[in-house]
Amino acid sequence: MTVIQARDVSLTFQTADGPVHALKDVSLTIERGDFVSFIGPSGCGKTTFLRAIAALETPTAGTLEVAGMAPDQARRQRAYGYVFQAPGLYPWRTIAGNISLPLEIMGFSRADRAQRTQRVLDLVDLAGFGAKYPWQLSGGMQQRASIARALAFDADILLMDEPFGALDEIVRDRLNEALLDLWKKTGKTIGFVTHSIPEAVYLSTKIVVMSPRPGRITRIIDSPLPRDRPLEIRDTPEFIALAQQVREGLREGHGYD
Ligand SMILES: Nc1ncnc2c1ncn2[C@@H]1O[C@H](COP(=O)(O)OP(=O)(O)OP(=O)(O)O)[C@@H](O)[C@H]1O
């Protein structure tokens, strides 16, 4: 079942320095349960595409469907959770208070909120930190809290804009494993922006390689790796060959203009 469908999506920003073609003729089909990574150099439109899916930007041309709806309708129906690059936690609320805020707005009961908050705190390895305030946590822990917040209301689609970019490698490995585990257990459809080739290859069923000026897709690589992936899979020939394909895709798209 198709969950996200983009057909010839273009998006041009009008700036004081002239038009910026952030996306040009982007077409992509994401099926239910896919884990799709977007990878490419800075400015290739990864964030813009994710934001367009989330109705935070409006394409200038083409069509986008999310869960069978126009993006703004999907947004109103809370069809997805969104994790931003920066944690964006309210400093006057505790970590648990931040996580439960969207649930409060959506009208979940107090008991349900408490139970969901605890579950996602466990999931991101922050059990015991619910009563702390954001400033009492490291940057990495704050980002994990923001992931927990996006997971709490259990939308079928999770959009993540480089959520682990600021984390050290050990924490990143653990969260990658936790995210894969969550994805397998829940069957969620995940769109994930990253700069890291190993991260894209480790996590994805589909890797979308993009290039800038104008932002476009240069390669879509379907992963042959099994869904069960211990971290050690990164040392296998299949993994290394896939990483090589991504690298080639990035090289192909590397035009100077
Ligand atoms: N609101 C905006 N107004 C004008 N230009 C914008 C705006 N948002 C993005 N852009 C431009 O659109 C292009 C694509 O940006 P985008 O942030 O989507 O790239 P990206 O691939 O996510 O980059 P990064 O990896 O650095 O996050 C860039 O040239 C950027 O400067």
Amino acid occupying residue 193: V
Dist. CA 215 → ligand 1 center (Å): 9
- Phi and psi, residue 121, nearest 5°: -65, -40
Placement of tokens 């077409």 in the chain: 27
Pair 2, 34: CB distance under 8 Å: no
Q: Please report the atom of ligand 1 found closest to the CA of residue 14.
A: 4
Residue 137 is given by DSSP the state S
Q: Ligand 1 pocket, 48 CB below 6 A? A: yes
Q: Ligand 1 pocket, 13 CB below 6 A? A: yes
**Does one domain contain both 105 and 53?**
no
Dist. CA 61 → ligand 1 center (Å): 17
Tell me which residue range forms the domain holding 55.
2-79+156-252
Amino acid occupying residue 59: P
Q: Ligand 1 pocket, 45 CB below 6 A? A: yes
**Does one domain contain both 194 and 110?**
no
Where the chain has pLDDT below 70, the residues are 254-257
**Does one domain contain both 74 and 167?**
yes
pLDDT, one tens digit per residue, over 113-132 is 999 999 989 888 899 999 99
Q: Please report the atom of ligand 1 found closest to the CA of residue 193.
A: 22
Dist. CA 71 → ligand 1 center (Å): 20
Cα separation, 111 vs 108, in Å, equals 8
Q: Ligand 1 pocket, 15 CB below 6 A? A: yes
Residue 84 lies inside a defined structural domain of this protein: no
3-state secondary structure of 118: helix
Dihedral of alpha carbons 167, 171, 173, 179, sign = negative
What DSSP string runs through 180-238? HHHHHHH--EEEEEES-HHHHHHH-SEEEEEETTTTEEEEEEE--S-S---GGGGGSHH
Dist. CA 211 → ligand 1 center (Å): 12
Q: Give the chain's domain count.
A: 2
Q: Ligand 1 pocket, 50 CB below 6 A? A: no
Q: What own/partner pairs with CB < 8 Å and gap ≥ 24 does 201-205 have?
A: 201/225, 201/234, 201/239, 201/242, 201/243, 201/246, 202/176, 202/229, 202/231, 202/233, 202/234, 202/239, 203/35, 203/37, 203/176, 203/179, 204/35, 204/36, 204/37, 205/33, 205/34, 205/35, 205/36
* CATH code of the domain covering residue 36: 3.40.50.300
Placement of tokens 């605890």 in the chain: 118
Q: Ligand 1 pocket, 24 CB below 6 A? A: no
**Does one domain contain both 36 and 69?**
yes
Q: Please report the atom of ligand 1 found closest to the CA of residue 213.
A: 29
**Does one domain contain both 147 and 105?**
yes
Q: Closest by alpha carbon to 152, among 82, 54, 89?
A: 82
The predicted pLDDT at position 255 comes to 54
Residue 93 lies inside a defined structural domain of this protein: yes
Q: pTM for the whole thing?
A: 0.91
Dist. CA 37 → ligand 1 center (Å): 17
Contacts of 71 (CB under 8 A, 6+ apart): 52, 53, 54, 55, 64, 65
Q: Please report the atom of ligand 1 found closest to the CA of residue 49.
A: 18
Q: Ligand 1 pocket, 97 CB below 6 A? A: no
Domain edge (last residue) among 119, 135, 154: 154
Residue 72 lies inside a defined structural domain of this protein: yes
3-state secondary structure of 30: strand
The predicted pLDDT at position 186 comes to 79
Cis, peptide link before residue 198, omega less than 30° from 0:
no
